[in-house]
């Protein structure tokens, strides 16, 4: 795909580009800052954060973007450049963008994101991967029918409830020191381990492994854990 750039007026202190990259590098990169390490990133003159667009809104000449990083971290991005504000209106939910700017303390706590004390004043926004619309179901909708969730399993893995269940199972498995682990990266869960019991038959002379790395069906875990989990949007 051809790299697109929009020429900005001299009075616009910002830029907005669209790029095409491989799917494997969408949420990876050593030069990107993590929302969980903002104290070190705040000392830098410019910070670049990659994440998924959760929500966007326009207030006058200022655009606000809620940017989410796996599994449940989010930060508010503020942009005032005219070109960026115009292009933010075209962003679709769950698109992946790179926001480059300066981290500043928020004037008041931002209660709608997990990072409440900082916000990113963006001078540049790059679209890494644009999500198709409409989405099968809203990410924060916990009342979606099971058939719809199973038909769009990758989307279901990004919901706060399912992500919390995966983290709970992962913490239990890590505490038990299982023999085999696998990273669930494509579903935006970072270093979340998936495990399931082994159903293979073993010979008498074979070393038996009690865990096999398989894609973990979460139906039983989901229904057994939802009553004990209190999930909040943040």
Mean pLDDT computed over 192-196: 50
pLDDT digits (tens, 9 = 90+) for 89-120: 889 999 999 999 988 888 899 888 888 888 99
Strand pairing of 196-197 and 211-212? antiparallel
Confidence of residue 219 (pLDDT cuts 50, 70, 90): very low
Fold that domain 4-129 belongs to in CATH? OB fold (Dihydrolipoamide Acetyltransferase, E2P) (2.40.50)
SS3 50: strand
Delimit the CATH 2.40.50.140 region(s) of the chain: 4-129
Question: What pTM did the predictor assign?
Answer: 0.60
Q: How many CA atoms lie less than 13 Å away from 216 in the CB half-sphere?
A: 27
Q: Return the residue matching tokens 């616009």.
A: 12
Give the mean pLDDT of 132-158. 84
More confident residue, 52 or 187: 52
For residues 125 and 26, the model is more confident at: 125
Comparison of pLDDT for 197 and 159, the residue scoring more: 159
Q: What one-character DSSP code corresponds to residue 54?
A: E
Return the SS3 of 230.
coil
Tell me the pLDDT band of 143, cut-offs 50, 70 and 90: confident
d(CA 181, CA 139) in angstroms, rounded, equals: 27
Determine contact, residues 161/120, Cβ cutoff 8 Å: no
Contact 110, 76 (CB under 8 A): yes
Q: Helix, strand, or coil here: 44?
A: coil
pLDDT in the model for residue 46: 79
Please give the residue that has the higher pLDDT: either 214 or 153. 153
Whole-angstrom distance, CA of residue 112 vs CA of residue 171: 26
Round to whole Å and give the CA distance between 70 and 75: 12
Kindly tell me if the per-residue pLDDT of 80 is higher than 80.
yes
- Highest mean pLDDT of the ranges 137-141, 191-195, 204-208, 226-230: 137-141
């Amino acid at each position: 795909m051809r790299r697109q750039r929009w020429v900005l007026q001299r009075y616009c202190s910002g830029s907005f580009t669209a790029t095409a990259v491989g799917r494997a590098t969408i949420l990876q990169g050593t030069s990107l800052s993590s929302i969980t390490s903002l104290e070190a990133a705040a000392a830098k003159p410019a910070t670049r954060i990659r994440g998924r667009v959760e929500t966007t809104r326009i207030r006058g000449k200022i655009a606000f973007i809620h940017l989410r990083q796996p599994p449940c971290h989010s930060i508010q991005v503020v942009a005032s450049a005219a070109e960026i504000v115009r292009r933010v209106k075209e962003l679709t939910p769950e698109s992946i963008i790179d926001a480059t700017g300066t981290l500043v303390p928020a004037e008041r706590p931002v209660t709608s994101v997990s990072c409440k004390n900082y916000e990113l004043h963006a001078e540049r926004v790059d679209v890494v991967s644009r999500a198709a619309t409409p989405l099968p179901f809203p990410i924060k909708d916990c009342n979606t029918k099971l058939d719809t969730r199973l038909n769009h399993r990758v989307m279901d893995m990004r919901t706060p409830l399912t992500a919390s269940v995966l983290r709970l199972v992962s913490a239990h498995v890590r505490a038990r020191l299982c023999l085999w682990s696998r990273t669930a990266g494509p579903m935006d869960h970072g270093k979340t381990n998936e495990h399931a019991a082994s159903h293979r038959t073993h010979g008498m002379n074979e070393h038996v492994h009690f865990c096999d790395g398989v894609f973990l069906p979460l139906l039983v875990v989901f229904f057994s854990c939802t009553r004990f989990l209190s999930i909040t949007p943040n």
